[in-house]
Amino acid sequence: MTYANLQASAGTPLTSGTPPLSITKQYPSNVTAGSLLVAVIFRYGTATPPTVGQVTDDKGNYWNQAVEYADTASNAGCELWYCESAGGGNKPTVTATLIGYPTNAISDMNIVVLEYSGNSGYQLVDGIGQATIITATTSTPTTSSSLTANHELAISAVSCNSSTTGATIPSGWTSRYNSTGPQQTIADNVDTGASSSGSTFGAAWTGLTGSGHKGAAIIATFVPIGSSSSTPHLLQTSYVNPPLGGSLTTARTSQAFPVNPTPGNMLVLIGNAQTITGGHATVPLIGVTDTAGNRWKWAGESLQDAGTAVDFYIWTCSNCVGGATTLTLTFPQPMETASFLLLEIAATGGATVVDSTGRSSFSSVASVSTAASVRAGDIAFAVYTAVFSNHLCSPTSGWRQVFSDTIGGTWMEMQPVTAAGVLTASWGITGEAAVDCLVTALRPAPSLGVH
């Protein structure tokens, strides 16, 4: 099975605006059922541009972020979102929405949609990587870990403040989009080769010229055949990070899930609440309810840290009721803002109980392990944050990124099926003054029915 590009089309650039801000693009032709859909979003700001927190379409497809990066020197960024198994016979209109923080204005933002055939299954994203462009004529974003399959699809994008004729695409790759002033370029390699498994994979961009040019480059690879529908797999992600300020409150309402959850699936909330004005303070979460009447349970907390104003928590709903679902979060004391990521995961095997957790607070190393061995077949989540840290940061082998906000210094990842033993989540960064990490492994338990 080999990938093939079926279509690619760019939207109309936005040249001004502040969050909340969205950009849309409709596929020019009907998409084929089962296709891999991809959206690359370029963004530039008068200062550091916000991250995209959610991608949706008007046909009810599930979208997830694969990789993103923003460069604070050039205020340029790009990210790649994907839909693993599209519904067919339609022309989806795709919408990408910025998070609320930072509140900086956008000077240019665009979206490019692509469609690929030649895949089946779930958990198709294999490797991701980022690179910073700092006045050099070349840039090679490379996957942070070795590929696990042959004949993968690789997609790379460059976002740069250069106004030249555009980057020279890597040898053997195909250009899918190229625009200048600012520079936005996308290329793909629909077949990484018969022996790509076991090695990292990079996109060697050249021809990056211009006076003082800077920017960001990303890469993501996709396996042709992923896990089956009976194996735990991520369906959708949606992140919000409101701006600071405003009145203090002991309750916060989340955004709704982009697509109404399916009965029996697992829902996950990963979040952080804080107060910055008048001094850093973290606020723990003591209760979660939702409009569907689901039961939510605590599954881990990184502990309160006044140094970074971070206290990440994980709550889960094992067997959701389904339908429209908006969460209400309750706190024991007034807080200023709450950021949170919503996940929907299918085929998790009924109710889940916490197997083991691990945490580190105000550390200098971005690595954390469970306090005890976990069982084979657990489902695990990890989160790392270093506030205001703009790092190149990709998960280590075995983990899959579920969301990153490089501007806010937050990375979240997932391992849908664990091996037995102590479980470690690591992001390969050292020397930070203040890092907070949390890892939680959940063990499938006998099904208790939808609740």
pLDDT tens-digit series, residues 168-184? 899 999 999 998 878 89
Least confident of 54-63, 109-118, 357-366, 376-385: 357-366
Separation CA 187–CA 176 (nearest Å): 5
pLDDT score of 338 = 85
pLDDT score of 450 = 41
| Cβ atoms of 436 and 358 closer than 8 Å | no
Cβ neighbours around 328 below 10 Å, total:
13
pLDDT score of 176 = 97
Higher per-residue pLDDT: 215 or 226: 226
pLDDT at 435 exceeding the cut of 90: no
| Cβ atoms of 129 and 141 closer than 8 Å | yes
Separation CA 47–CA 102 (nearest Å): 9
Cβ neighbours around 198 below 10 Å, total:
10
User: Per DSSP, which regions of 169-262 are E strands?
Assistant: 174-179, 183-189, 214-222, 233-240, 249-256
Backbone angles phi, psi at 169, to 5 degrees: -70, 155
| Cβ atoms of 257 and 236 closer than 8 Å | yes
Least confident of 61-75, 175-189, 210-224: 210-224
Which residues touch 278 (CB under 8 Å, ≥6 apart)?
Answer: none
| Cβ atoms of 426 and 397 closer than 8 Å | no
- Joined tokens for residue 2: 């080999």
CA-closest candidate to residue 6, choices 178, 190, 222: 190
Higher per-residue pLDDT: 333 or 158: 158
Higher per-residue pLDDT: 280 or 286: 286
Separation CA 79–CA 339 (nearest Å): 20
Distance set, CA 180 to CA 36, 162, 166, 367, 374 (Å): 27, 7, 6, 39, 50
pLDDT tens-digit series, residues 37-63? 999 999 998 888 889 999 999 999 999
pLDDT tens-digit series, residues 377-394? 999 999 988 765 567 788
Longest dimension (CA), the chain: 63
Q: Which residues pair with 358 in a beta bridge?
A: 439
Q: Return the ∠ at Cα 204 (arms to 97 and 14), rounded to 5°.
A: 25
pLDDT tens-digit series, residues 287-318? 999 999 999 999 998 876 656 667 889 999 99
Q: What DSSP letter does each residue of 49-110 carry, written as one string?
A: PPPEEEEEETT----EEEEEEEETTTTEEEEEEEESS---SB-PEEEEEE-SSS-PPEEEEE
Q: What DSSP letter does each residue of 323-371 carry, written as one string?
A: SS-EEEEEEEEEESEEEEEEEEEE---S-EEEEEEEEEEEEEEEEEE-S
Least confident of 113-122, 223-232, 300-309, 408-417: 300-309
CA-closest candidate to residue 99, choices 64, 161, 55: 55
| Cβ atoms of 202 and 220 closer than 8 Å | no
pLDDT score of 409 = 78
In 3-state terms the chain splits into helix, strand, coil percentages (rounded to 5) of 0, 55, 45
